[in-house]
Amino acid sequence: MSFKSVQESLTNISRSNTFKGIFQSVHDPNDEEVVQLIRNQLISEGRLPEKYDDYHTLLRFLRMRAFNVPKAKEMFLNMVKWREDFGVDAIVKDFKFEELEAVKRCYPQGFHGVDRYGRPLYIERIGLVDLNSLLQATSIDRYIKYHIMEQEKTLNVRYPACSLAAKKHIASTTTVLDVKGVGLSNFSKPARELFIEIQKIDSNYYPETLNQLFIINAGSGFRALWRVLKAFLEARTLSKIQVLGTNYHTALFEAIDPRNIPEFLGGTCTCSANEGCLMQDKGPWTNPEINQLLEEVFHKGKKFMEERISEETNDPSGRHFNGARTLKMTAEEYEANGTGISLKINEIEAWLKDTNEILQKLLLKQEEMSTFVEDLKKLASEAM
Ligand SMILES: [Zn+2]
Protein backbone atom coordinates (compact mmCIF):
# COMPACT_ATOMS: atom_id res chain seq x y z
CA MET A 1 0.00 0.00 0.00
CA SER A 2 1.52 3.33 -1.00
CA PHE A 3 1.93 6.32 1.32
CA LYS A 4 -0.67 8.19 -0.64
CA SER A 5 -3.27 5.46 -0.53
CA VAL A 6 -2.96 5.24 3.26
CA GLN A 7 -3.69 8.95 3.39
CA GLU A 8 -6.63 8.58 1.00
CA SER A 9 -8.07 5.74 3.01
CA LEU A 10 -7.89 7.82 6.14
CA THR A 11 -9.61 10.72 4.46
CA ASN A 12 -12.31 8.44 3.18
CA ILE A 13 -13.26 7.00 6.50
CA SER A 14 -12.63 10.18 8.44
CA ARG A 15 -16.28 11.05 8.12
CA SER A 16 -17.08 8.79 11.04
CA ASN A 17 -17.40 11.02 14.11
CA THR A 18 -14.87 9.05 16.06
CA PHE A 19 -12.23 9.11 13.38
CA LYS A 20 -12.94 12.62 12.16
CA GLY A 21 -11.33 14.18 15.21
CA ILE A 22 -8.23 12.04 14.75
CA PHE A 23 -7.58 12.43 11.08
CA GLN A 24 -9.18 15.68 10.13
CA SER A 25 -9.29 17.66 13.38
CA VAL A 26 -12.18 19.97 14.01
CA HIS A 27 -12.40 22.45 11.15
CA ASP A 28 -12.43 26.07 12.17
CA PRO A 29 -15.37 27.68 10.31
CA ASN A 30 -13.19 30.66 9.30
CA ASP A 31 -10.51 28.35 7.91
CA GLU A 32 -13.12 26.27 6.17
CA GLU A 33 -14.53 29.32 4.40
CA VAL A 34 -11.14 30.38 3.00
CA VAL A 35 -10.20 26.81 2.06
CA GLN A 36 -13.48 26.48 0.17
CA LEU A 37 -12.81 29.80 -1.56
CA ILE A 38 -9.35 28.85 -2.81
CA ARG A 39 -10.60 25.39 -3.70
CA ASN A 40 -13.51 26.71 -5.79
CA GLN A 41 -11.18 29.13 -7.59
CA LEU A 42 -8.71 26.37 -8.41
CA ILE A 43 -11.46 24.04 -9.60
CA SER A 44 -13.14 26.64 -11.77
CA GLU A 45 -9.77 27.32 -13.38
CA GLY A 46 -9.28 23.58 -13.88
CA ARG A 47 -6.09 23.68 -11.83
CA LEU A 48 -6.81 21.38 -8.91
CA PRO A 49 -5.75 17.82 -9.74
CA GLU A 50 -7.87 15.44 -7.71
CA LYS A 51 -4.90 13.95 -5.87
CA TYR A 52 -4.04 17.34 -4.39
CA ASP A 53 -7.62 18.14 -3.44
CA ASP A 54 -7.20 17.93 0.31
CA TYR A 55 -8.47 20.28 3.01
CA HIS A 56 -5.35 20.23 5.17
CA THR A 57 -2.97 20.63 2.24
CA LEU A 58 -4.80 23.75 1.06
CA LEU A 59 -4.92 25.05 4.63
CA ARG A 60 -1.15 24.65 5.06
CA PHE A 61 -0.51 26.80 1.99
CA LEU A 62 -3.01 29.41 3.17
CA ARG A 63 -1.40 29.57 6.60
CA MET A 64 2.06 29.93 5.11
CA ARG A 65 0.80 32.94 3.15
CA ALA A 66 -1.11 34.48 6.05
CA PHE A 67 -4.44 33.59 4.36
CA ASN A 68 -3.70 35.72 1.34
CA VAL A 69 -5.61 33.69 -1.26
CA PRO A 70 -3.79 34.81 -4.45
CA LYS A 71 -0.39 34.27 -2.81
CA ALA A 72 -1.38 30.91 -1.32
CA LYS A 73 -2.78 29.86 -4.69
CA GLU A 74 0.44 30.77 -6.46
CA MET A 75 2.46 28.83 -3.90
CA PHE A 76 0.17 25.82 -4.16
CA LEU A 77 0.37 25.80 -7.98
CA ASN A 78 4.16 26.02 -7.81
CA MET A 79 4.11 22.95 -5.58
CA VAL A 80 1.90 21.02 -8.02
CA LYS A 81 4.17 21.96 -10.92
CA TRP A 82 7.31 21.06 -8.97
CA ARG A 83 5.87 17.66 -8.04
CA GLU A 84 5.12 16.90 -11.67
CA ASP A 85 8.47 18.25 -12.97
CA PHE A 86 10.50 16.53 -10.28
CA GLY A 87 8.54 13.28 -10.46
CA VAL A 88 7.82 13.12 -6.74
CA ASP A 89 5.33 10.25 -7.04
CA ALA A 90 7.88 8.22 -9.00
CA ILE A 91 10.52 8.90 -6.32
CA VAL A 92 8.18 7.62 -3.63
CA LYS A 93 7.34 4.57 -5.70
CA ASP A 94 10.69 3.60 -7.19
CA PHE A 95 13.60 5.36 -5.53
CA LYS A 96 15.83 3.08 -3.48
CA PHE A 97 18.30 4.68 -1.09
CA GLU A 98 20.57 1.71 -0.47
CA GLU A 99 23.22 3.94 1.07
CA LEU A 100 20.96 4.97 3.98
CA GLU A 101 23.05 3.37 6.71
CA ALA A 102 26.30 4.69 5.30
CA VAL A 103 24.73 8.15 5.01
CA LYS A 104 23.42 8.10 8.57
CA ARG A 105 26.88 7.20 9.81
CA CYS A 106 28.41 10.36 8.34
CA TYR A 107 25.28 12.50 8.76
CA PRO A 108 23.58 11.37 12.00
CA GLN A 109 19.87 12.06 11.72
CA GLY A 110 16.58 10.33 12.13
CA PHE A 111 13.11 10.23 13.58
CA HIS A 112 13.04 9.14 17.18
CA GLY A 113 9.70 8.72 18.93
CA VAL A 114 7.31 11.56 19.62
CA ASP A 115 7.14 14.77 21.63
CA ARG A 116 4.79 15.16 24.59
CA TYR A 117 1.90 16.09 22.30
CA GLY A 118 2.45 13.02 20.11
CA ARG A 119 4.15 14.68 17.12
CA PRO A 120 7.06 12.91 15.45
CA LEU A 121 10.41 13.93 16.88
CA TYR A 122 13.20 14.42 14.37
CA ILE A 123 16.83 14.74 15.47
CA GLU A 124 19.79 15.84 13.41
CA ARG A 125 23.41 16.11 14.63
CA ILE A 126 24.61 18.44 11.94
CA GLY A 127 27.83 19.17 13.84
CA LEU A 128 28.91 15.57 13.28
CA VAL A 129 28.44 15.68 9.51
CA ASP A 130 31.44 14.36 7.66
CA LEU A 131 30.81 15.96 4.30
CA ASN A 132 33.61 14.21 2.43
CA SER A 133 32.39 10.78 3.51
CA LEU A 134 28.80 11.83 2.80
CA LEU A 135 29.66 12.80 -0.76
CA GLN A 136 31.47 9.47 -1.18
CA ALA A 137 28.48 7.53 0.16
CA THR A 138 25.94 9.42 -1.95
CA SER A 139 25.48 12.44 -4.20
CA ILE A 140 23.66 15.68 -3.46
CA ASP A 141 20.99 14.74 -6.04
CA ARG A 142 20.38 11.37 -4.44
CA TYR A 143 20.39 12.88 -0.97
CA ILE A 144 17.70 15.35 -2.05
CA LYS A 145 15.57 12.53 -3.46
CA TYR A 146 15.96 10.69 -0.17
CA HIS A 147 14.93 13.84 1.70
CA ILE A 148 11.80 14.17 -0.45
CA MET A 149 10.96 10.51 0.10
CA GLU A 150 11.20 11.05 3.85
CA GLN A 151 9.00 14.14 3.66
CA GLU A 152 6.36 12.13 1.81
CA LYS A 153 6.57 9.35 4.38
CA THR A 154 6.12 11.89 7.16
CA LEU A 155 3.02 13.41 5.57
CA ASN A 156 1.40 10.18 4.51
CA VAL A 157 2.50 7.62 7.08
CA ARG A 158 4.13 9.18 10.16
CA TYR A 159 1.42 11.79 10.80
CA PRO A 160 -1.49 9.34 10.38
CA ALA A 161 0.26 6.80 12.64
CA CYS A 162 0.96 9.48 15.27
CA SER A 163 -2.63 10.70 15.01
CA LEU A 164 -3.82 7.18 15.64
CA ALA A 165 -1.48 6.68 18.60
CA ALA A 166 -2.24 10.06 20.19
CA LYS A 167 -5.92 9.91 19.19
CA LYS A 168 -5.82 13.46 17.91
CA HIS A 169 -4.90 15.20 14.69
CA ILE A 170 -1.11 15.38 14.27
CA ALA A 171 0.30 17.20 11.25
CA SER A 172 3.62 18.70 12.27
CA THR A 173 7.05 17.69 13.51
CA THR A 174 9.20 18.74 16.45
CA THR A 175 12.86 18.91 15.48
CA VAL A 176 16.09 19.01 17.48
CA LEU A 177 19.13 20.23 15.60
CA ASP A 178 22.38 19.63 17.47
CA VAL A 179 24.88 22.15 16.08
CA LYS A 180 27.77 21.33 18.41
CA GLY A 181 30.95 22.07 16.46
CA VAL A 182 29.23 23.92 13.62
CA GLY A 183 30.70 27.23 12.55
CA LEU A 184 31.46 29.28 9.48
CA SER A 185 34.72 27.39 8.92
CA ASN A 186 33.13 23.97 8.41
CA PHE A 187 30.17 25.20 6.43
CA SER A 188 31.74 24.67 3.04
CA LYS A 189 30.25 25.43 -0.37
CA PRO A 190 28.69 21.95 -0.94
CA ALA A 191 27.27 22.02 2.60
CA ARG A 192 25.77 25.46 1.99
CA GLU A 193 24.28 24.34 -1.30
CA LEU A 194 22.74 21.27 0.28
CA PHE A 195 21.34 23.27 3.17
CA ILE A 196 19.84 25.94 0.89
CA GLU A 197 18.35 23.39 -1.52
CA ILE A 198 16.69 21.44 1.28
CA GLN A 199 15.41 24.60 2.93
CA LYS A 200 13.93 25.68 -0.40
CA ILE A 201 12.15 22.36 -0.88
CA ASP A 202 10.81 22.27 2.66
CA SER A 203 9.55 25.83 2.83
CA ASN A 204 8.17 26.02 -0.73
CA TYR A 205 6.63 22.58 -1.10
CA TYR A 206 6.09 21.25 2.43
CA PRO A 207 5.03 24.41 4.27
CA GLU A 208 3.70 24.46 7.81
CA THR A 209 4.90 21.03 8.87
CA LEU A 210 7.35 22.30 11.49
CA ASN A 211 5.90 22.61 14.95
CA GLN A 212 9.04 23.69 16.74
CA LEU A 213 12.77 23.59 16.12
CA PHE A 214 15.27 23.45 18.96
CA ILE A 215 18.77 24.38 17.85
CA ILE A 216 21.00 23.21 20.67
CA ASN A 217 24.66 23.47 21.60
CA ALA A 218 24.93 26.72 19.65
CA GLY A 219 28.36 28.20 20.23
CA SER A 220 29.82 31.48 19.00
CA GLY A 221 30.70 29.88 15.65
CA PHE A 222 27.15 28.78 15.00
CA ARG A 223 25.70 32.09 16.14
CA ALA A 224 27.87 33.88 13.56
CA LEU A 225 26.63 31.47 10.91
CA TRP A 226 23.04 31.82 12.12
CA ARG A 227 23.04 35.52 11.32
CA VAL A 228 23.67 34.53 7.70
CA LEU A 229 21.33 31.54 7.54
CA LYS A 230 18.39 33.51 8.94
CA ALA A 231 18.18 35.36 5.64
CA PHE A 232 17.06 32.15 3.91
CA LEU A 233 14.26 31.36 6.31
CA GLU A 234 10.67 32.59 6.26
CA ALA A 235 9.55 34.80 9.16
CA ARG A 236 6.93 32.23 10.12
CA THR A 237 9.58 29.53 10.28
CA LEU A 238 11.90 31.73 12.32
CA SER A 239 9.19 32.27 14.93
CA LYS A 240 9.21 28.51 15.62
CA ILE A 241 12.95 28.30 16.21
CA GLN A 242 14.76 28.51 19.56
CA VAL A 243 18.52 28.83 19.46
CA LEU A 244 19.92 27.41 22.69
CA GLY A 245 23.41 26.91 24.08
CA THR A 246 24.49 23.98 26.24
CA ASN A 247 21.73 24.64 28.80
CA TYR A 248 18.99 23.31 26.58
CA HIS A 249 17.67 20.46 28.74
CA THR A 250 14.87 22.30 30.53
CA ALA A 251 13.41 23.62 27.30
CA LEU A 252 13.76 20.24 25.61
CA PHE A 253 12.26 18.21 28.45
CA GLU A 254 9.31 20.56 28.60
CA ALA A 255 8.41 19.59 25.04
CA ILE A 256 9.70 16.02 24.99
CA ASP A 257 9.63 13.22 27.55
CA PRO A 258 13.29 12.39 28.44
CA ARG A 259 12.45 8.74 27.67
CA ASN A 260 12.12 9.74 24.02
CA ILE A 261 15.41 11.65 24.03
CA PRO A 262 18.63 9.75 23.27
CA GLU A 263 21.32 9.62 25.93
CA PHE A 264 23.67 11.81 23.89
CA LEU A 265 21.14 14.65 24.31
CA GLY A 266 20.69 14.03 28.03
CA GLY A 267 17.65 11.79 27.75
CA THR A 268 17.17 8.25 28.98
CA CYS A 269 16.26 6.38 25.80
CA THR A 270 17.79 2.95 25.80
CA CYS A 271 17.04 1.93 22.22
CA SER A 272 20.56 2.95 21.27
CA ALA A 273 22.16 -0.44 21.89
CA ASN A 274 21.86 -1.43 18.26
CA GLU A 275 23.72 1.06 16.02
CA GLY A 276 22.42 4.08 17.93
CA CYS A 277 19.07 5.82 18.46
CA LEU A 278 19.05 7.60 15.11
CA MET A 279 19.31 4.38 13.13
CA GLN A 280 16.02 3.10 14.51
CA ASP A 281 13.31 5.29 12.92
CA LYS A 282 11.38 4.43 16.04
CA GLY A 283 7.86 5.78 16.49
CA PRO A 284 4.18 4.88 16.20
CA TRP A 285 4.72 4.42 12.45
CA THR A 286 6.84 1.33 13.11
CA ASN A 287 4.41 -0.13 15.62
CA PRO A 288 3.11 -3.31 13.93
CA GLU A 289 -0.38 -2.97 15.42
CA ILE A 290 -0.75 0.61 14.21
CA ASN A 291 0.60 -0.30 10.79
CA GLN A 292 -1.74 -3.20 10.53
CA LEU A 293 -4.61 -0.97 11.49
CA LEU A 294 -3.57 1.64 8.91
CA GLU A 295 -2.92 -0.88 6.19
CA GLU A 296 -5.61 -3.49 6.58
CA VAL A 297 -8.56 -2.02 8.38
CA PHE A 298 -8.48 1.37 6.73
CA HIS A 299 -7.99 -0.22 3.36
CA LYS A 300 -11.05 -2.38 3.90
CA GLY A 301 -12.87 0.63 5.26
CA LYS A 302 -12.07 2.52 2.08
CA LYS A 303 -13.37 -0.22 -0.18
CA PHE A 304 -16.47 -0.51 1.92
CA MET A 305 -17.12 3.22 1.73
CA GLU A 306 -16.33 3.43 -1.97
CA GLU A 307 -19.00 0.91 -2.81
CA ARG A 308 -21.59 2.92 -1.01
CA ILE A 309 -20.62 6.52 -1.42
CA SER A 310 -21.65 8.66 -4.34
CA GLU A 311 -20.57 12.14 -5.19
CA GLU A 312 -22.64 14.98 -3.94
CA THR A 313 -24.40 16.67 -6.82
CA ASN A 314 -23.94 20.28 -5.70
CA ASP A 315 -20.19 19.92 -5.47
CA PRO A 316 -18.79 22.35 -8.09
CA SER A 317 -16.12 19.86 -9.10
CA GLY A 318 -18.61 17.04 -9.38
CA ARG A 319 -16.40 15.06 -7.07
CA HIS A 320 -16.11 14.44 -3.40
CA PHE A 321 -14.22 16.54 -0.86
CA ASN A 322 -13.54 15.01 2.53
CA GLY A 323 -16.83 15.04 4.40
CA ALA A 324 -18.93 16.39 1.53
CA ARG A 325 -20.30 13.01 0.55
CA THR A 326 -23.64 11.38 0.63
CA LEU A 327 -24.48 7.86 1.65
CA LYS A 328 -27.03 6.29 -0.65
CA MET A 329 -27.54 3.29 1.58
CA THR A 330 -30.34 3.32 4.08
CA ALA A 331 -29.69 2.75 7.73
CA GLU A 332 -31.47 -0.64 7.50
CA GLU A 333 -29.25 -1.72 4.64
CA TYR A 334 -26.31 -0.56 6.63
CA GLU A 335 -27.35 -2.53 9.70
CA ALA A 336 -28.09 -5.58 7.56
CA ASN A 337 -24.73 -5.49 5.82
CA GLY A 338 -22.70 -8.26 7.38
CA THR A 339 -19.38 -6.77 6.32
CA GLY A 340 -20.39 -3.34 7.53
CA ILE A 341 -18.06 -0.96 9.23
CA SER A 342 -19.83 -1.30 12.55
CA LEU A 343 -19.03 -5.01 12.62
CA LYS A 344 -15.52 -4.28 11.44
CA ILE A 345 -15.07 -1.81 14.27
CA ASN A 346 -16.33 -4.36 16.78
CA GLU A 347 -13.77 -6.79 15.46
CA ILE A 348 -11.00 -4.24 15.76
CA GLU A 349 -12.20 -3.42 19.22
CA ALA A 350 -11.90 -7.01 20.37
CA TRP A 351 -8.53 -7.35 18.73
CA LEU A 352 -7.09 -4.15 20.08
CA LYS A 353 -8.04 -5.01 23.64
CA ASP A 354 -5.58 -7.83 23.60
CA THR A 355 -2.78 -6.20 21.71
CA ASN A 356 -1.80 -2.68 22.48
CA GLU A 357 -2.26 -0.33 25.35
CA ILE A 358 -2.00 2.80 23.24
CA LEU A 359 -4.51 1.53 20.77
CA GLN A 360 -6.94 0.74 23.52
CA LYS A 361 -7.61 4.46 23.69
CA LEU A 362 -9.13 4.09 20.27
CA LEU A 363 -11.80 1.69 21.38
CA LEU A 364 -15.19 2.85 20.42
CA LYS A 365 -17.40 3.17 23.41
CA GLN A 366 -21.00 2.13 23.15
CA GLU A 367 -22.31 5.68 23.09
CA GLU A 368 -19.85 6.65 20.37
CA MET A 369 -21.11 3.75 18.30
CA SER A 370 -24.69 4.89 18.61
CA THR A 371 -23.69 8.44 17.69
CA PHE A 372 -21.96 7.04 14.65
CA VAL A 373 -24.99 5.00 13.61
CA GLU A 374 -27.26 8.00 14.23
CA ASP A 375 -24.95 10.05 12.06
CA LEU A 376 -25.14 7.50 9.28
CA LYS A 377 -28.93 7.33 9.54
CA LYS A 378 -29.12 11.10 9.26
CA LEU A 379 -26.84 11.12 6.22
CA ALA A 380 -28.82 8.30 4.66
CA SER A 381 -32.12 10.08 5.15
CA GLU A 382 -30.68 13.29 3.65
CA ALA A 383 -29.66 11.32 0.61
CA MET A 384 -33.10 9.91 -0.05
ZN1 LIG B 1 16.63 5.71 21.29
What would the pLDDT profile of 19-39 be if each residue is shown by its tens digit?
555 666 668 888 999 999 999
Question: 334: CA distance to ligand 1 center in Å?
Answer: 46
In tens, the pLDDT along 55-88 reads: 999 999 999 999 999 999 999 999 999 999 999 9
135-139: long-range contacts, CB 8 A cutoff, minimum separation 24:
135/190, 137/99, 137/102, 137/103, 137/105, 137/106, 138/97, 138/99, 138/102, 138/103
Question: 274: CA distance to ligand 1 center in Å?
Answer: 9
Question: 175: CA distance to ligand 1 center in Å?
Answer: 15
Residue 159 has pLDDT above 90, yes or no: yes
Question: 123: CA distance to ligand 1 center in Å?
Answer: 11
In tens, the pLDDT along 206-225 reads: 999 999 999 999 999 899 88
Instruction: Please state, for a pLDDT cut of 70, what percent of the chain lies above it.
Output: 69
- Report yes or no: 262 and 280 within 8 Å, Cβ to Cβ: no
Q: How far apart are CA 353 and CA 296, in angstroms?
A: 17
Question: 113: CA distance to ligand 1 center in Å?
Answer: 8
Comparison of pLDDT for 274 and 195, the residue scoring more:
195
Question: 125: CA distance to ligand 1 center in Å?
Answer: 14
Which CATH superfamily includes the segment(s) 95-283? CRAL-TRIO lipid binding domain (3.40.525.10)
Location of each CATH 3.40.525.10 domain in the chain: 95-283
pTM, 2 dp: 0.73
